[in-house]
Amino acid sequence: MKCAFLDVDTVGDVDFSQIQQVTGDFARYTKAEFEQNSEAILADIEVIITNKVVINEDRLKLAPNLKLICVAATGYNIIDLTACEKHQVVVCNVTNYATNTVAQHVFALLLSWANQIKQYHQASVDGTWQRSQFFCLLDFPIFELAGKTLGIIGYGASGQKVAEIAKAFGMKVLIAERENATDLRPDRTEYKTVLAQADIISLHCPLTAENANFINTEFFQQLKPSCILVNTARGGLINEEALYNALSKQQIQAALLDGLSVEPAPHEHILIKNKLPNLIITPHTAWASQEARQVLIDEIANNIQAFIANEPRNRIGLEP
């Protein structure tokens, strides 16, 4: 099948041999190359792989032979599913490929903040340590994760992995029930109770139209001032102006974020330009270990192979 990856530069140094073997005709384009030659590329394509390139009605009209879209991600908001249904195009995504690396990133952020790694490194090399009359510095408070209460919102694969690691640190884990749920599941804690008791809140829910910006002013008012917010999910879950206000007014201790609502974030973004001391941001890299990226590519190959065998897997949007 004639297959093209439309933004191969988004996945970096991975082995594409499984996709090449399954399709037999596999072309790779950077996002810029695709945007410059989209009509020609789409004209006779049968399988599209896309991470962030939007596939909408206009582009589907340019691809009369298209049969399958493989999203190189779990989220598929870049795909117009209604248009795909109209054009009888199957859409598949990949789930749970970055469970370990996302959980690892959560604790990389937490430990960096808890142990003040950046500040103590700087103090070690800028002369501060050398001027000390003692063997160590105590300039920046350090705290232990043991004994802290971790509230998890979103309990899929990554949320479960974070809970497992947290327990190894000796943390108490509370799994939040849905905010307006009438029945409490056995392993869940009432939503408002989690917010009130948590020392750390970690987000692991997908971004939907219903939960966009649900981390807002009202949310922050329910947290302890010592609470830390960790987000390795989607930036759009957070109302960033409300977060800025909460951080600048010390309504919460800190926010540790992987990505923002707009990526890459512009220089004038409220959380970028103000350089808050209680904020750490990484550029949407929680998913991006080499191992996780390779699993992603290999799972895409499996999706294509299953489609060719008329047994689609990880299918979204269209009913089998």
Q: Which of 188, 269, 284, 315 is catalytic?
A: 284
DSSP bridge pairs for 176:
189
Query: What is residue 201's three-state secondary structure?
Result: strand
**CA 91-92-94 angle, 5° bins:** 155
- Known catalytic residue: 319? no
- Known catalytic residue: 263? yes
Distance CA 270, CA 276 (A): 10
36 Cβ partners below 8 Å, 6+ apart? none
φ, ψ for residue 7, nearest 5 deg: -145, 60
Q: What share of the chain is helix, strand, coil (3-state, %, to 5)?
A: 35, 15, 45
Per-residue tokens: 275: 């350089």
Query: What is residue 148's three-state secondary structure?
Result: coil
Q: Which of 179, 218, 241, 263 is catalytic?
A: 263
The single-letter DSSP state of residue 9 is G
Distance CA 165, CA 159 (A): 10
Q: Which of 234, 240, 293, 299 is catalytic?
A: 234
Length of the chain: 320
- Known catalytic residue: 105? no
By annotation, the residues acting in catalysis are 234, 263, 284
